[in-house]
Amino acid sequence: MKKLFASEDAFELQAIRSELDALAIPYMVKNEFAGGALGELPWQEAQQELWLVDETWFNRASKVVNAFESKLKPTAESDRNEWTCSECGEENGGAFEVCWQCSKAR
Ligand SMILES: [Zn+2]
């Protein structure tokens, strides 16, 4: 078995699980009920893990996880995404919608 993904966020886990289900990738969840039964920990703090039952699915499954994680951080990605002004050739940061040099829209 191979560990695929771990998160304290049940919603993240659920999102990955439904993707894996859709692709019929076999997996199992560990610690799914950790903390819940005794009430010592809030359910959010119980880290859950997704494990691949069959490692031959790993490439496929890790694409699902990578795609999901990049969706979680769209802002950080676009900040690094510099663009070049077509008017004056100035380099601008991804956060800017207009050229800081000549104010031409991106
Ligand atoms: Zn410009």
Q: Domain count of the chain?
A: 2
Q: What is the DSSP string of 34-59?
A: TTTTTTSS-GGGS-EEEEESSGGGHH
CATH of residue 19's domain is 3.30.70.790
48 and 64 inside one domain: yes
Strand partners, 30: 49
Q: Residue 36: how many CB atoms within 10 A of its CB? A: 13
Same domain, 61 and 91: no
Q: What single-letter amino acid sits at 90?
A: E
Same domain, 32 and 60: yes
Q: Is 50 exposed, middle or buried (0-12, 13-18, 19+ CB in 10 A)?
A: buried
Are 18 and 56 within one domain?
Answer: yes
* 82 CA distance to ligand 1 middle (Å): 13
Q: How far is the CA of 86 from the centre of ligand 1 (A)?
A: 7
The parent domain of residue 103 ranges over 75-106
Nearest to 4 by CA among 63, 70, 90: 63
Threshold 0.75, pTM exceeds: no
pLDDT of residue 8: 82
Question: What ranges in 1-106 are assigned the alpha helix state H?
Answer: 10-22, 58-72, 74-79
Q: Is the same domain home to 61 and 96?
A: no
For residue 35, pLDDT over 60 is answered with no
- Answer yes or no: do 43 and 80 share one domain: no
Task: Output the CA 76–ligand 1 centroid distance in Å.
Answer: 23
Residues 27 and 79 in one domain: no
Same domain, residue pair 20 and 36? yes
Q: Are residues 60 and 28 in the same domain?
A: yes
Mind listing the pLDDT tens digit for each residue in 38-74?
A: 555 555 456 789 999 999 999 999 999 998 888 776 6
